[in-house]
């Protein structure tokens, strides 16, 4: 029972850290209080989850020996893979919404749409391509290991 609890806490901690990093970056880029509150909430949740995990491990030292690291790596790579897919999906949706907004295009003499440079934000484009290797590596590892189970 404690083994499942420890694994669940570790997975929750990883997800919370990913959300924490996302809120931190969003706050730095936008200076919005919404992201600052999210940053503070995830900081507190990371601390609480970490302390709770540490207490359980200190009380039950044998539980660490029972954790299967291969399964944990599969779970971690799956979380990273789906998080990166989520980021790419959100960027794609934003670009598609902007491309349909008349503010970001005009019609040529032939009646065809000519898009402005503002349709694709350079920060979004950079984030899309910087996360590409992580997505491919985590996804490949996740799929290969999942197929091997």
pLDDT number for residue 43 = 93
In three state form, how does the secondary structure of 124-140 look? HHHHHHHCHHHHHHHHH
Estimate to the nearest angstrom the gap between the alpha carbon of 72 and the chain centroid: 17
Give me the average pLDDT of each 10-residue run along the chain (149 residues): 84 89 87 91 93 89 82 86 90 88 81 82 86 90 87
Say what the pLDDT of residue 47 is: 94
Question: Residue 34: its pLDDT value, please?
Answer: 92
Would you state the pLDDT for residue 128? Answer: 86
SS3 for 114? Answer: strand
Confidence (pLDDT) at 48:
93
């Amino acid at each position: 029972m404690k083994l499942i609890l420890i694994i669940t806490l570790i997975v929750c901690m990883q997800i919370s850290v990913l959300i924490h990093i996302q809120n931190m970056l969003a706050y730095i880029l936008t200076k919005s209080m919404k992201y600052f509150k999210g940053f503070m909430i995830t900081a507190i949740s990371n601390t609480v989850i970490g302390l709770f995990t540490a207490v359980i491990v200190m009380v039950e030292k044998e539980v660490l020996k029972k954790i299967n690291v291969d399964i944990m790596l599969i779970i971690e790579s799956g979380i990273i893979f789906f998080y990166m897919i989520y980021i790419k999906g959100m960027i794609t949706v934003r670009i598609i919404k902007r491309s349909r907004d008349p503010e970001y295009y005009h019609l040529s003499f032939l009646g065809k749409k000519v898009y402005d440079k503002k349709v694709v934000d350079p920060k979004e484009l950079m984030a899309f391509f910087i996360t590409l290797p992580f997505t491919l590596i985590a996804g490949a590892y996740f799929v290969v290991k999942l197929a091997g189970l």
